[in-house]
Structure 1
Amino acid sequence: MPVKMVLNAKASPGTVPVKIYTKEIEHAALEQLKNIAQLPIVYSHVAAMPDVHLGKGATVGSVIPTVGAIIPAAVGVDIGCGMNAVRTSLQANQLPDSLKSVRAAIEARVPVGFARHKMINARESACKDLAPGADRLFEKHPALLKMLRDPQRTWVTQVGTLGGGNHFIEICLDESDQVWVMLHSGSRGIGNAIGQHFIKLARKDMAVHIHNLPDRDLAYFSEGSQHFDDYVEAVNWGQEYARVNRQEMMKLVIGCLREYLPPFTLTSEAINCHHNYVVREAHFGRDVFVTRKGAISAQRDQLGIIPGSMGSRSYIVRGKGNPESFCSCAHGAGRKMSRNAARKRFTRRDLEEQTKGVDCRKDSGVLDEIPAAYKDIDRVMGNQSDLVDVVHTLRQVICVKG
């Protein structure tokens, strides 16, 4: 049975309830959620998914409906970060006994970490469609030019690149031993610059007009204000950039697999879903802006991706359209300890033990991504059984990290 608790059920005027789909939440994240619930722009209630944890700007795993306003720091700086997955016709027995050469080929084909494509026209077609929006952004907001080294080249050469942190590319097997490709990334350097730029503008605006925000990171733009329309245009472009980035990476990975594996076809339409984004939707009789920070849309019959940590199961799910969660669900396992805490607590041997059977980096550089630093994905799934149904259960055999 799912676990759900409600904060501020008997709230004072101006404070909405917070509905939380877990009891596994740290005090700091609770306080962060309470601050969000105090904002006059929040409608009905705040929903916190079972992977909820403390975040920068706003709580990771939160779903925030707002009326006539958007909180840039709640959307965050990895605008449009999300997942892409596709099923192939390959079976597990068609994979080579050693997967090292396949992983090395993917790492050579898809730039990871701070790397980018060396040729500016590497993803020419995709960049051509994105270019008009980028030009408008730089023209309207010259500050973005100062935030990026060689800004035009940066966003172009980073299309189809992974980045670092918890971003990954994985080859997985489902319950029928069918091979899937799954990846996780966002809007790279340009999304980060857009996010930082508008967070600063929102704080500046709030400092002039509103002086009692519970947290400066919750500064927002109201419809009709100086920067609202500019932010909507910029964040929509950033979200599209992130989607295209994942799409282009998927093309690179599939092309790479075709060179190393037997002939195959793609047997299921690719799922490409954001989990850091804002969108206009209707909920409880009102048109609102829904910010999902570390949460995915789970409208009725909508397919989504909920990845586990490196070395644990992941899930392809179908949404139930639960109105209490604003038709949302978790975006992953969710961290239960900080990156610094994980590095101090665990060793390389721990990492090797916890990623047995997965061909991946097992060095100290990815120790902060060790599975034990994350919540139990099966408990997360159990706590949202009224939000989604499991369609496929995936287990990793290759994991590429930034």
Structure 2
Amino acid sequence: MPAAVKREAIEVVQVANGRPIKMWTDGVPVEAEARQQLLNTARLPFIFHHLAVMPDVHLGKGSTIGSVIPTRGAIIPAAVGVDIGCGMIATRSTLNASDLPDTLHGLRSAIERAVPHGRTVGRGKRDQGSWHNPPQAVNALWAGLLPGFKRIVEKYPRLRDSNHHQHLGTLGTGNHFIEVCLDEAERVWFMLHSGSRGVGNAIGRSFIALAQADMRQHLANLPDRDLAYLKEGSAHFDDYVEAVGWAQEYARSNRSLMMANVIDAARRVIGKPFSVDAEAVNCHHNYVQKETHFGSEVFVTRKGAVSARQGELGIIPGSMGAKSFIVRGKGNTDSFNSCSHGAGRVMSRNEARRRFTVADQERATAHVECRKDQEVIDEIPMAYKDIDAVMHAQRSLVEVVHSLRQVVCVKG
């Protein structure tokens, strides 16, 4: 990578034939492959001003996860990704730690029954991670999303058969989770992480393929085919902007619905009546939207990054065995008003499965009521960066409002 200069805990990389890269990575590791992806992205002709790199940065598909990509006149669908609108929601309750049951397994089980999670596939099998007969709340929410979906499938009929209605209000797999947490004052919080599920995946993959097809003659000139882009004014650009906006609204609605079901499940288990904050923090961290920066209107793709405007609340989760944070943005203009979306992986899922055992998982999550089996070893805390180091590296981007530690974690 070209020579870098450190300034106020920011590493600034000047890129030949490209835009500068500003990295908030002081004290956290950045793999060589991720640095190369940053260079590849910075050299695209439509990158605006500079790239901003968050401390959770790691290798992604085409572009690094943990980067903020401002563009003029084009969008890279693979940078937005296939979990369009993936993000977090959290809300504080009036409960204290002493109000929780002595044994938390019943609370975890109630949440698992209330929210479809995971995935099962096979001939004749119903996917356990979807609704068989969606409840009325799901139907009502889908009715509001349906007109926009119909407009999209009129042009892209293949999307009609994606998982949409039956995935609304469901968690998914991988790093998606539901947690019950305690803050520094022992108050109980509910928090979860998910996105636009099957329909967002279908939209993302469809437009990634369209961008690559549109650029077929130019792919050889790109350092990575997953940097294929849609140019503003092209046949598919406006359709993508509409579809990605719809998927982001689906994702936000998905999280809100799950949160309502989690709270209802907790009420059935916890004997004491309680209420929750009317204003939950509900933020995307895989998305694109139009914003104004440095005097210009641009598209900002946050690929594993959270909006952190001055005074804006956000959520930065750690691993399933570490702390998470409710933060308030400082409105740092050089970061395009952004912060990290989590701790960030230090190894692939396959490497985590190869390196660690169930016994390792049990030790690392001894303080959490959660699954401790072979299927979740890829989410072991040691597969992630040190969340305290990540938070220190972005001290100019956010301030911590609450520190949360999980006591219950549900994963698919």
Q: TM-score, normalised by structure 2?
A: 0.93
CA distance in 1, matches of 2:113, 2:61: 32
In the alignment, structure 1 residue 15 sits paired with structure 2 residue 14: no
Q: What residue in structure 2 maps to residue 134 of structure 1?
A: 149
In the alignment, structure 1 residue 357 sits paired with structure 2 residue 372: no
Shift, 1:137, TM fit: 1.5
Which amino acid in the other structure matches residue 24 of structure 1? P
In the alignment, structure 1 residue 305 sits paired with structure 2 residue 315: yes
Q: What residue in structure 1 maps to residue 285 of structure 2?
A: 275
TM-aligned CA distance change 1:371 to 1:391, over 3 Å: same
SS of the aligned residue for 2:221 comes to: coil
CA distance in 2, matches of 1:266, 1:143: 40
Q: What residue in structure 1 maps to residue 263 of structure 2?
A: 254
Alignment of 1:3-402 (within 5 A): 3-7=9-13, 9=14, 11-12=15-16, 14-22=17-25, 23-114=28-119, 115-122=129-136, 123-145=138-160, 148=161, 151=162, 154-208=163-217, 211-261=220-270, 262-267=272-277, 269-402=279-412
SS of the aligned residue for 1:359 comes to: coil
Which amino acid in the other structure matches residue 54 of structure 1? L
Shift, 1:69, TM fit: 1.1
More deviation, 230-239/20-29? 20-29
SS of the aligned residue for 1:316 comes to: strand
- Structure 2: gaps of 5 or more residues: 1-6, 120-128
CA distance in 1, matches of 2:282, 2:347: 28
CA distance in 2, matches of 1:247, 1:351: 30
CA distance in 2, matches of 1:63, 1:268: 30
CA distance in 1, matches of 2:339, 2:280: 19
CA distance in 2, matches of 1:119, 1:166: 26
Which deviations, in whole Å up to 9, do the C-alpha atoms of 1:38-63 show, x marking residues without a partner? 00010110011000000113100010
Shift, 1:208, TM fit: 3.5
Contact map agreement 1:343 1:367 (CA 8 A) in 2: yes
CA distance in 2, matches of 1:211, 1:110: 45
Shift, 1:144, TM fit: 2.2
Number of residue pairs matched?
393
Shift, 1:210, TM fit: 6.5
- Structure 1: gaps of 5 or more residues: none
Which deviations, in whole Å up to 9, do the C-alpha atoms of 1:234-261 show, x marking residues without a partner? 0000000000000000010011111111
SS of the aligned residue for 2:302 comes to: strand
CA distance in 2, matches of 1:3, 1:364: 39
TM-aligned CA distance change 1:268 to 1:318, over 3 Å: farther
Which amino acid in the other structure matches residue 163 of structure 1? G
Shift, 1:103, TM fit: 0.2
Contact map agreement 2:179 2:409 (CA 8 A) in 1: yes
Which amino acid in the other structure matches residue 329 of structure 1? C
SS of the aligned residue for 1:57 comes to: coil
Shift, 1:143, TM fit: 2.7
Contact map agreement 2:219 2:225 (CA 8 A) in 1: no
Shift, 1:68, TM fit: 1.6
Contact map agreement 1:57 1:76 (CA 8 A) in 2: no
Which deviations, in whole Å up to 9, do the C-alpha atoms of 1:318-354 show, x marking residues without a partner? 0000011110000000000000110111111111111
Shift, 1:267, TM fit: 3.1
Which amino acid in the other structure matches residue 206 of structure 1? M
Which amino acid in the other structure matches residue 403 of structure 2? T
CA distance in 2, matches of 1:55, 1:206: 21
